[in-house]
Chains A and B, each alone.
Chain A
Amino acid sequence: MTGGVTLLPVAKPPAGRLLGGRHCPTMSAGSDLNIDYVANLARLALTEEQKTRYARQLGDILHYVDKLKQVDVSGVEPMAHAAPVFNVWQDDVPRSGLSTDQALRNAPAQRQNMIVVPKVVE
């Protein structure tokens, strides 16, 4: 179901939903949620029961957020966050970070000061 071999490369989006770049002329309804496609993007294995339940619950939520269509946003700048700070620079001064021991303390598996992972390249 979720093996890396069958899921790479990333599955194509549902047909007809790639609307040329990032432009989408209409607000999509909840039924547009392709749970297999999105779960794959999120690298999240879901059971059939979860897929059915989340699709229903998220359908409700997407239906609810559809109300955003009512707002006229022409000419409005998007807002990333509320802090009145932009382009924060810091001097490039070396300083100590975590020690190797500290950095590896929570590694699920380690050997010789390295994190052990499954083989990545054949």
Chain B
Amino acid sequence: MARDLTWLSATELSALLEARELTSVELVQACLARVQAVDGRVKAFNSRDEAAALAAARDADARRAAGQARGPLDGIPVGFKDVIAVEGQPLTCSSKMLANYVSPYDATVTTRLKAAGAIPLGRLNLDEFAMGSSTENSAFGPTANPWDLTRVPGGSSGGSAAAVAAGELPLTLGSDTGGSIRQPAALCGIVGLKPTYGLVSRFGLAAYASSLDQIGPLARSVDDAALLLQAIAGHDERDSTSFKAGVPDYRAEIAKRSGPWRIGVPKEFFGAGLDSEVGVAVQAAIEHYRKTGCEIREVSLPLAAEQAIAVYYLIATAEASSNLARYDGIRYGHRAAKAKDVVDLYFQSRAEGFGDEVKRRIILGTHVLSSGYYDAYYLRAQKVRTLIRNEFAAVLTDCDVLLSPTSPTAAFKLGEKSSDPLAMYLTDIYTISVNLAGLPGISVPCGFTAGGLPVGLQLIGRPFDEAGLLAIARHYEQAHDWSQRHPVL
């Protein structure tokens, strides 16, 4: 095959499939060849089923030949963060606890992607049970940043981001509880979208913190993210927090939104702790919006900036300690070989199956929910969460979108923060409040450091206004060529 498919966007690949200049089998083979060539160094994949992917690609080609293609994703390979169920395939959550687990059913997002003709091509590495910001907390070893293999790809959806950045897959799904799509997207130089809480079904997503978790796309362009969002968004009765509303045609809606926009810049998100090179790149993005006619407004989010991490680590760990109680060694998952009785089996199976960070968060979550501490920690955190949501709602009445860095620094070194949990938690300082408020957030590439590491720009939108958010992100993206740079692997 003469054409190099490695860095083409899903939108471009879709057009080639539509024009019959490319077959899905060729595309899947090209992805598998790229995985073969680079994944030994990047280590984005936990598992893949090449035979199943090629069979699905042949079906897609047959549909297209018969004039029955199912739409723009038909025949396009998609990778799944290894917390999303794909029937008959492993689902490990990058945990020893689920090392041998096979999904008995499809997640709703998987069902919808299969219906759209997309081809599931493997499960991607993460911090165990999505707890982490570097993909170092994986039972199967860390994923490397394709731009510098000695650095982290971010996390927890580090495998999903690295696979796209390394040219292994055009599209992947991640999940975002406190920044786990946007932060790795920023650190790997790609686009990552966390949808509004309730837009995408969580059915079949292994639960970490249910009131914060949301599945979303990682992609090479804003259009690609919209393409993938279109296929997975919408009400699902199997998720009781799924929102009952129509899903717009994102591509058509994005085209209608032409600005100029009112862009809020939270002053607290540019203070101490922000790396100067990241700050310079984000300021340049602000200038771009200003020069193209947008109104830039300084806004203030004092509670989101000051209290969000504290609120998050109380609420998320409380929910995690409850959600992860299901891993008891009885019905599925790791079972300790030597236990005295059934209660000892719980203790030993969990001790053997969970890694360090998961244990730490279970302990913290159990503590903050325990008698005598519930009001002081958990209940107070839920109240401050209300105040943070109100703070965002107030500034978003006068602004179409908020703009900030995605992460305070570019990719850090493997091992640099792994012994200091609090330092690791602080890397999510600009993303976490967005989950608490349930808002949509996107990270788009906005430059590079002098050392050649990608920098991400975060835009935060109004609830269920993904179309507006994507349009404003695309406005910046179309005027810059950051996504045309690729790591050398």
Using CB atoms and an 8 Å cutoff, list the residues of chain A in contact with chain B. Answer: 2-5, 7-8, 13, 17-19, 22-24, 26-28, 32-33, 35, 37-39, 41-46, 50, 54, 57-58, 60-62, 64-65, 67-68, 71, 73, 76-85, 88, 90, 98, 102-103, 105-109, 115, 117-120
Contacts and interface: CB of A to CB of B under 8 A. Distances in A.
Interface string B350-368: 1100101001101110110
Contacts of B430: none
A107 B364 contact: no
B366 A73 contact: no
Report, nearest first, the 3 A-B pairs whose CB atoms are least far apart. Answer: A82-B438, A4-B343, A78-B382
A41 B370 contact: yes
Contacts of B198: 82-85
B104 A108 contact: no
Contacts of A39: 363
Interface string B362-379: 111011001111111101
Contact of B313 (A19, A43, A61): A61
B104 A118 contact: no
A54 B240 contact: no
Interface stretch (B5-13, B155-163, B184-192, B328-336): B328-336
A79 B389 contact: yes
Contact of B341 (A5, A46, A77): A5
A108 B437 contact: no
B372 A68 contact: no
Contact of A43 (B210, B328, B341, B383): B328
B366 to A, nearest CB: 4
Contact of A58 (B243, B354, B363, B438): B363
A95 to B, nearest CB: 11
A24 B100 CA distance: 43
A67 B306 contact: yes
Interface in B434-451: 436-439
A105 to B, nearest CB: 6
Contacts of B382: 78-80
A120 B347 CA distance: 15
Nearest to A63: B422
B381 to A, nearest CB: 7
24 contacts: A4-B342, A7-B347, A22-B372, A23-B375, A41-B370, A46-B351, A57-B421, A61-B421, A62-B364, A65-B310, A68-B310, A71-B380, A71-B383, A73-B383, A76-B383, A80-B382, A81-B210, A81-B241, A83-B243, A85-B241, A85-B242, A102-B105, A105-B102, A118-B342
B225 interface: no
B261 interface: no
A54 B344 CA distance: 21
Contact of A106 (B102, B354, B362): B102
Contact of A115 (B321, B331, B343, B389): B331
A61 B422 contact: yes
B371 A18 contact: yes
B321 A42 contact: yes
A89 to B, nearest CB: 10
Contact of B373 (A2, A24, A43, A68): A24
Contact of A3 (B212, B340, B386): B340
A45 B375 contact: no
Nearest to B386: A79
Contacts of B387: 71, 73, 76
Contact of B363 (A42, A67, A83, A117): A42
B303 interface: yes
Given A80-B382, A103-B104, A108-B333, 13 more contacts: A27-B380, A28-B376, A32-B373, A43-B328, A62-B364, A65-B314, A68-B307, A73-B384, A77-B383, A78-B382, A82-B389, A82-B463, A106-B331
Interface string B231-243: 0000001001111
A68 B381 contact: yes
A102 B211 contact: no
Contacts of A85: 198, 240-244
Contacts of B104: 98, 102-103, 105-106
A119 B346 contact: no
Contacts of B303: 71
Contact of B379 (A78, A81, A88, A120): A78
Given A5-B340, A5-B341, A107 B241 contact: no
A68 B380 contact: yes
B311 interface: yes
B341 A118 contact: yes
B101 interface: yes
B370 A13 contact: yes
A78 B386 CA distance: 6
B114 interface: no
A13 B372 contact: yes
A105 B89 CA distance: 12
Contacts of B370: 13, 37-38, 41
Given A61-B313, A107-B332, A22 B374 contact: yes
Contacts of B377: 27-28, 65, 68
B211 A2 contact: no
Contacts of A37: 370
B110 interface: no
Given A65-B310, A67-B310, A44 B347 contact: yes
Contacts of B341: 3-5, 118-119
Contacts of B367: 33, 38, 58, 62
Contacts of B345: 117-118
